[in-house]
């Protein structure tokens, strides 16, 4: 056995027990233990780590710990230039394609609203999520620390917030997503691109109030949903702005700059809802608002 001293910085302390946070502490390590092995043994997923200083010098995950070593572990840097130091992975976490685990459906839909390619499926287990992220070069989003400790996961983010809107704001700040956002360009249900569609091609399936007040529409070629700019768009716009993502001010009821209000898949008269799905009372309230576009039937 060897003894090494560890110090974790900033949000990495969230993974440690209270008596080890924001302070240096000594820990016994197995002989030939690597920095990665010990960091994760102490509770910190390797995907949360961007820089390791071993006795004051940059080190990788494969560095062998020796008696008396001092290990400083840092999270991902957004505001500091560390280009002169050796990061623990060859490429920074900037391939902005995500896979969200089963518990982050609301966040996945909000990321799609913001224009980020985000997969959310019912994978059978963590191994499948990890393998998919590696195969598709996607960043894993999860609240499961053990998932992030899997060797196949090279890029991932542990999501701390519990509500979808708060999770989006957390991720936008942490990964500096705002400059790359393309609001209302992806279908929030299918993750497929939206494209403009002529009103004449979809008006047969439009509710009367929508035909009367809206002229610009988008459609998804996967689910065949039709989208327009109404109260759902306004709600989603507010969520994006709160998260720090700029969204153009709507120019008028007949001008659709980006997208979207609601859709009804498979011809059902169903409210659009927010990413966490609206309650029946909320859907009923929308139906009572004059000139407010409700659900669409598939054209």
- Could you read off the pLDDT of 200-234 as tens digits, one per residue? 999 888 888 888 888 889 999 999 889 888 888 88
Which residue(s) pair with 25 in the sheet? 6
Question: What local confidence, expressed as pLDDT, does residue 254 receive?
Answer: 40
- In order, the DSSP letters of 19-42 are GGTTS-EEEEE-TT-BHHHHHHHT
Residue 250 is predicted with a pLDDT of 64
Q: Give pTM, 2 decimals.
A: 0.65
For 166-196, what is each residue's pLDDT tens digit?
Answer: 999 999 988 888 888 999 999 988 999 999 9
N- to C-terminal Cα distance for the chain?
A: 69
Model pLDDT, residue 208: 87
Residue of 104, 96, 122 whose CA lies nearest to 158: 104
Backbone phi, psi, residue 266, to 5°:
55, 30
Q: Which residues pair with 157 in a beta bridge?
A: 141
DSSP secondary structure letter of residue 11: G
Map tokens 């197995």 to a residue: 30
CATH fold label, 2-75:
Ubiquitin-like (UB roll) (3.10.20)
Residue ranges of the chain whose pLDDT lies below 50: 78-82, 92-94, 251-299
pLDDT of the residue at 89: 54
Question: What DSSP state is assigned to residue 219?
Answer: E
Residues 185, 204: Cα–Cα separation, whole Å: 24
Which H or E run includes 211? helix 208-213
């Amino acid at each position: 056995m060897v003894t090494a001293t560890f110090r974790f910085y900033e949000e990495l302390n969230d993974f440690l027990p209270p008596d080890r946070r924001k302070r240096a502490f000594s820990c016994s390590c197995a002989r030939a233990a690597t920095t990665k092995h010990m960091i994760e043994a102490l509770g910190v997923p390797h995907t949360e780590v961007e820089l390791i200083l071993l006795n004051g010098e940059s080190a990788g995950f494969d560095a062998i710990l020796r008696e008396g070593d001092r290990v400083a572990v840092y999270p991902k840097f957004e505001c500091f230039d560390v280009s002169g130091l050796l990061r623990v992975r060859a490429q920074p976490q900037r391939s902005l394609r995500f896979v969200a685990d089963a518990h982050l459906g609301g966040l996945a839909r909000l990321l799609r609203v913001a224009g980020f390619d985000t997969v959310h499926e019912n994978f059978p287990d963590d191994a499948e999520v990890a393998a998919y992220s590696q195969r598709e070069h996607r960043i894993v989003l999860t609240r499961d620390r053990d998932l992030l400790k899997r060797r196949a996961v090279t890029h991932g983010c542990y999501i701390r917030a519990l509500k979808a809107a708060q999770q989006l704001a957390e991720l936008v700040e942490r990964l500096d997503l705002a400059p790359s956002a393309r609001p209302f360009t992806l279908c929030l249900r299918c993750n497929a691109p939206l494209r403009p569609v002529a009103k004449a091609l979809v008006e047969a399936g439009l509710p009367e109030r929508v035909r009367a007040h809206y002229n610009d529409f988008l459609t998804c070629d996967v689910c065949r949903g039709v989208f327009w700019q109404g109260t759902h768009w306004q709600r989603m716009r507010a969520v994006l702005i709160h998260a720090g993502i700029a969204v153009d001010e709507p120019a008028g009821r007949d001008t659709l700059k980006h997208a979207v209000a609601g859709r009804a898949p498979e011809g059902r008269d169903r409210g659009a809802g927010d990413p966490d799905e609206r309650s029946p009372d909320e859907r009923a309230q929308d139906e009572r608002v004059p000139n407010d576009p409700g659900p669409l039937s598939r054209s």
